[in-house]
Structure 1
Amino acid sequence: MASIFTKIINGEIPSYKIAEDENFYAFLDINPNAKGHTLCIPKKEVDKIFELDEETYMGLMAFSRKVAVALKKVIDCKRVGIAVVGLEVPHAHVHLIPLNHMGEMTFQQKIKLSDDEFKSIAEKVSALL
């Protein structure tokens, strides 16, 4: 059965897409820790990040870096943090979280954004890619 992320990639579930190429997809987390919280995923459905073949793993990291650089230009933050947790969705993914304080990295603190805020962030970051 396809993961929720595969359904997002296939357009079965809507997302606030940031970037996409033939192997990877980036979109805003709809339950963000901070404004601009982005998920980067391989299109290949593999449960755990360290189960990815080396080429896909390295490609995901390079793709995530490009997204993080653009994200930092759009979101006012001290830095963009990176986390790999992978307990909620059985599809390897990287969290990119614009950070101003450590609380934004705990996954215990969530913020609410309007549809317009999500769209604005996605459009601005996407334009830089």
Structure 2
Amino acid sequence: MDRPILLGNLVSGAVFLAALAVLTWPLAALASIYVVSASAFLAAAYARDGLVRRLEAVVWIAPWVAAVALWAWIFAGVDGGTPWLLTLGVAVVVATPSYLAWQAGALAVRQLMAWHRAGRSAQATA
């Protein structure tokens, strides 16, 4: 597994889950399962050598599709009378910014970890 990918996603996910837990802990519990499994998936996929761009795009999109499916399932359970296309559209609208914010947070964590490693190695050589 790619350790920076895994840690970045888990830390970023934990921040968003903490905020979600304040609003609704059952949804946060369900989302934590998604965050852990998607983080492990991304870390395992990025640990592979020779990941071509097309496959990298599929790897990055797969957790987003899972997020859309999860939100569609949640919305369908909340209001079972809504047409499935509307439910799917609302799921896309909610899942997309959520996923992008999570990944942007994970990128920031990975960058901070890289800066920290670079600072430590510079101190060690000085």
> TM-score when scaled to structure 2?
0.34
- Larger strand percent: 1
Flag the structure with larger Rg.
2
- Larger helix percent: 2
* Greater relative CO, 1 or 2 (CA 8 Å, sep 6+): 2
